[in-house]
Amino acid sequence: GIQVEQSPPDLILQEGANSTLRCNFSDSVNNLQWFHQNPWGQLINLFYIPSGTKQNGRLSATTVATERYSLLYISSSQTTDSGVYFCAVEDWRGSTLGRLYFGRGTQLTVWP
């Protein structure tokens, strides 16, 4: 299966700071999603972004499929942004179509 690597593994910020999270994947994919897992464990869809750039409020994401990476930007961070951010990709050639391969996540802590 596809290998997904996320960096950094941990990130500590003061409220108001900006950050960039990175997701590298080992082969071409047809689907990439970013999730936020909040402190209660819930997985929240942030972006479905196989390629290109999308923005949603203070968050934006860019996927460069040809270079096998995606970036998640968080601007003017807030304490509610704390949690784990996961990148997940789907390998269209895999035997398990629709299966997502997850990275290990970036643990983000935002202090007031």
Partner 1 sequence: NAGVTQTPKFQVLKTGQSMTLQCAQDMNHNSMYWYRQDPGMGLRLIYYSASEGTTDKGEVPNGYNVSRLNKREFSLRLESAAPSQTSVYFCASVLAVMNTEAFFGQGTRLTVV
Cα separations (Å) of 98 from 2, 54, 101, 108? Answer: 13, 22, 10, 28
Query: Cis peptide before 8, with omega less than 30 degrees from 0?
Result: yes
Q: Is residue 11 part of the contact set for partner 1 (CB under 8 A)?
A: no
Q: How far is the CB of 48 from partner 1 (least distance, A)?
A: 4
Q: Can residue 54 be called a binding residue for partner 1 (CB under 8 A)? A: no
CA separation, residue 91 to residues 6, 7, 96, 97 (Å) = 17, 21, 8, 7
- Sketch the per residue contact string, 72 through 111, with partner 1: x for CB under 8 A, - otherwise: --------------x-x-x-x---xxxxxxxxxx------
Q: Which of 42, 53, 76, 80 binds partner 1 (CB under 8 A)?
A: 42
- CB distance 29 to 89 below 8 Å: yes
Binding site for partner 1 (CB under 8 A): 1, 4, 30-31, 33, 35, 41-43, 45, 48, 50, 86, 88, 90, 92, 96-105
